[in-house]
Homo-oligomer: A and B are copies of this chain.
Amino acid sequence: MRILHHFPLSPGGRKLRLFLSEKNLSFGENIVKPWALPDDLAALGPGFMPPLLVESDGAILAGDQAIVEYIEEVHTTSSLLGSDALSRAEVRRVVGWFDRDFRHDVIETLLTEKLFRRLAGLGEPASTAVRAGHAALAQYLSAMATLVERSGWLAGEELSLADLTAGAYLSAIDYLGDINWDQEPDVRMWYARVKSRPSFRPLLADRIAGMPPALHYADLDF
């Protein structure tokens, strides 16, 4: 059976859980702490960080976008990348914008400081990083508003990997309660659409011991 090794609030793992579910591909889950990898995963070598996908045939896949592209190549039905090369380029552009820039500007400040730092026993969050993260987040929400106003989705005319990726990142931040949903009503409506998909249900059930989510986290009418 296909097994996804991931940590519940890791955005990369969330993206893959949403993606596999939207592709109707079943998978088992193994929860791993990125800051304390089990020996068998650590022995895989450099660059093999969770999320990792082990296919039924034993193939070990790492790197969340590498995994997505592999699955899209092997399971061609109901593509989440788009129907032609130019549409796929736009979906991948938005995905890359989140994977590189949003991760750098928001995840590595807010989520790393407020969640992973604490879970790894490294102490309290650095307030300068958290402030920078909040300021960057407001800019991303504003930028997302210009994208979703075109079709209601982030890239193209329907749900794509861009929406799943952004949903994965934002939902992890939303667990902390750090998103001001009043700032951009169109982005809130977009997130309500993404959040109400069946693929999102397992993510909304995630709970980290000792760190309950924001009250509205699992609320579809937030």
Where the two chains meet, the residues of A that have a C-beta atom closer than 8 Å to any C-beta of B are 45-47, 49, 59, 61-67, 69-70, 73-74, 85-86, 88-90, 92-97, 99-101, 103-104, 108, 140, 143, 146-147
Contacts and interface: CB of A to CB of B under 8 A. Distances in A.
A70 B47 contact: no
Nearest to A144: B46
B101 A89 contact: no
A96 B47 CA distance: 9
7 contacts: A65-B92, A66-B92, A67-B89, A69-B88, A70-B85, A74-B85, A104-B108
Contacts of A73: 85, 88
Nearest to A47: B97
Indicate the member of A67, A97, A104, A108 with the most B CB atoms within 10 Å. A97
Contacts of A45: 143, 146-147
Indicate the member of A46, A59, A89, A96 with the most B CB atoms within 10 Å. A89
A63 B93 contact: yes
A61 B93 contact: yes
A66 B108 CA distance: 23
Contact of A143 (B47, B49, B85, B89): B47
